[in-house]
Amino acid sequence: MTESPMTDSPRISLRDVLAAGRRIAPYLRPTPLYRYPALDALTGARVWVKHENHQPVGAFKVRGGVNLIAQLSERDRERGVITASTGNHGQSVAYAARLFGVRATVCVPEGANPVKAESIRALGAEVVFHGADFDAAREHCEALAAEHGFRYIHSGNEPHLIAGVATYSLEILAEQSDIAAIVVPVGGGSGAAGACLAARAVDPGIEVIGVQAEAAPAAYLSWRSGDLVAAPNSTLAEGLATGTAFDLPQRIMREYLSDFVLVSDDALLDATRAMIEKTRNLVEPAGAAALAAVLTDPDRFAGRSVAIVCSGGNISPAQLAGLWPAAAG
């Protein structure tokens, strides 16, 4: 990784992404890329689903966590790591910390998805519940890091996380040569930044489209304005629920992202139901955001080969029951 002379922000190259792929390969298998005729019929596009919900922690983030923790210095391993998360990034850090014998602490909001919190704890990390939302948990985490001297792992401003998660996009493009667009759910933007790096290296003609929740649009507004801006954060899709934007993924998205769209929480719920019905996979609302974007603007994707990233499947029983209240009642 080299420093950019213009900005001090690290430049992540294809070489870094390839190295991340080699680094994570002993621990994480490539995930499936599947077509479902029923999804094609629903969307009018040729839809390839990248199944990051099949990762051992049920979300793409683990690629970044393994890539980062595998490269920690001896000193950082001894200090232990700390992070803040709504759940999936925390699972990623906990999973990787366990692999490499590093102590981990994960700060989550008080109302965190219980399935994710339980998994983080079962992986051996300490879970600290704090605050009403991700940003409150993040501020608490930063204070604990300073107080205890832990290595703080930011969920977006970490080149090794971005290089790690970029590997799913390389897998998509290595497996299917006719992909015209990759549609990626965005919270802080690490996944979309990774897709930008991979697509740019393979073929700059490939569109990368970010999707964020209308009810938590900080990254979207920042990308559109060119400044880092905060925004209200009330989406039900906790994987997308951040109220601030992160510098490093924003820089990468500004250079390459083709477009950025917003979807409503109702569209996220419709897409979650559709993903579960048409693919028979467990999908959390953030993991259905890419399908929501395709369903919201079908003309844009009609007849094209589109990869949609099913970024996570960690839906709680209560969320699942809420998707079909009549059936549950």
Ligand X SMILES: Cc1ncc(COP(=O)(O)O)c(C=O)c1O
Residues known to be catalytic: 61, 311
Q: Which is nearer to ligand X, 52 or 270 (CB)?
A: 52
Q: Per-residue x/- mask for ligand X, residues 28 to 67, rule CB under 6 A? A: -------------------------------x-x------
Q: Considering the rule CB under 6 A, would residue 222 count as an interface residue with ligand X?
A: no
Q: Considering the rule CB under 6 A, would residue 109 count as an interface residue with ligand X?
A: no
Extended beta strands in 87-172, E state: 104-108, 126-129, 151-153
Q: How many residues belong to the site for ligand X (CB under 6 A)?
A: 20
Among 83, 88, 169, 222, binds ligand X (CB under 6 A): 88
User: Per CB under 6 A, which region of 28-36, 70-78, 82-90, 135-143 contacts ligand X?
Assistant: 82-90
Q: Which residue(s) pair with 107 in the sheet?
A: 84, 128
The strand pair at 151-153 and 305-310 is best described as unpaired
DSSP-derived 3-state class of residue 51: strand
CB of residue 315 to ligand X, shortest distance in Å: 10
Which residue's structure tokens are 């400044």? Answer: 227
Residue facing ligand X at closest CB distance: 312
Sites for ligand X among residues 244-273 (CB under 6 A): none
Among 94, 163, 286, 308, binds ligand X (CB under 6 A): 286
Cα separations (Å) of 55 from 62, 63, 283, 308?
8, 9, 12, 16
Tokens at 132, concatenated: 């009403």
Q: How far apart are CA 52 and CA 54, in angstroms?
A: 5
The answer to whether residues 91 and 62 touch, using CB atoms and an 8 Å cutoff, is yes
Among 89, 138, 154, 251, binds ligand X (CB under 6 A): 89
Which residue's structure tokens are 């209560």? Answer: 318
Q: Per-residue x/- mask for ligand X, residues 173 to 202, rule CB under 6 A? A: ------------xxxxxxxx----------
